[in-house]
Amino acid sequence: MAHIITIAQQKGGAGKTTLAVNLAIAFARQNMRVAILDTDPQGSLGRWFMTRRDALGDPGLEFATASAWGVGYECEKLGKTNDIVIIDTPPKVDSDLKPALREADLVLVPVSSSLVDLWATDGVLDLAERVGKRCVIVLNRVKSGTRLADEVAAAAAGVSADVAKASLGQRVVYAETLGQGRAVPEAGKSAASAEVLDLVAEVIALLQEKE
């Protein structure tokens, strides 16, 4: 059965889809079978997938959608033929999020370089704790060397969740590749690509801890 990663954050614009896309492609480039599951009615992950399919023909990964009640069924189905299933969720915290959290082996919570984003994690962390799931905060759009980035990182260390050592920087290439149906690891060696690979290695280590 596949490892299931749920990406959740109640604040919109925190980078859930960017995180999902880049993890998915990085896993796939390591010869893993990867599926992405879009449970967000906005459908950004689905639009990215269709753009990718139109551009490449073979997108190199499996895609499905589900409403809250269908998450368990889709995860069971996708888990039979894939090594990794990544779930992108809506920007809200309510009973609809619970199924995606229950299925998860690991919950990733993206936080942009903003204390407002960090404050918005409370609901996700509380809900995940209630269903017994481990959460890891991933700092996103980090402007290294700035006072705000340092403040957010310091504040994140004080919440009831782990903080990933790897973070994603404030780089145009994330938006550019997303709009092309691609991901940063496919755009050649760069600081952004190194960030994604560091995060993937960290996520793999966290998943192995559960085995």
Q: Is 3 helix (H, G, I), strand (E, B) or coil?
A: strand
Q: Is 191 helix (H, G, I), strand (E, B) or coil?
A: helix
Q: Is 140 helix (H, G, I), strand (E, B) or coil?
A: strand
- Across the range 105-115, mean pLDDT stands at 87
Question: Distances in Å between the alpha carbon of 104 and those of 21, 30, 32, 187?
Answer: 17, 21, 18, 29
**Rounded Cα–Cα distance for residues 50 and 48 (Å):** 6
Q: Is the pLDDT of residue 165 over 80?
A: yes
CA angle 46, 52, 55 (to 5 degrees): 145
pLDDT at position 156 is 67
pLDDT in tens, 181-208: 999 999 988 999 999 999 999 999 999 9
Contact of 103 with 70, CB cutoff 8 Å = no
pLDDT at position 3 is 97
pTM of the model: 0.93
User: Confidence band (pLDDT; 50, 70, 90) for 112?
Assistant: confident
pLDDT at position 211 is 64
- Residue-wise over 35-56: b if at least 16 C-beta within 10 A, else e? bbbbbbeeebbbebbebbeeee
**Rounded Cα–Cα distance for residues 48 and 182 (Å):** 8
pLDDT at position 26 is 97
The helix (run of H) or strand (run of E) holding residue 7 is strand 3-7
**Rounded Cα–Cα distance for residues 163 and 176 (Å):** 26
Domain 3-209: which CATH number of 3.40.50.2300, 2.60.40.10, 3.40.1390.10, 3.40.50.300: 3.40.50.300
Q: Is the pLDDT of residue 116 over 80?
A: no
pLDDT in tens, 15-60: 899 999 999 999 999 999 999 999 999 999 999 999 999 999 999 9
pLDDT at position 74 is 97
**Rounded Cα–Cα distance for residues 34 and 24 (Å):** 6
Contact of 171 with 142, CB cutoff 8 Å = no
Residues 6+ apart with CB under 8 A from 194: none
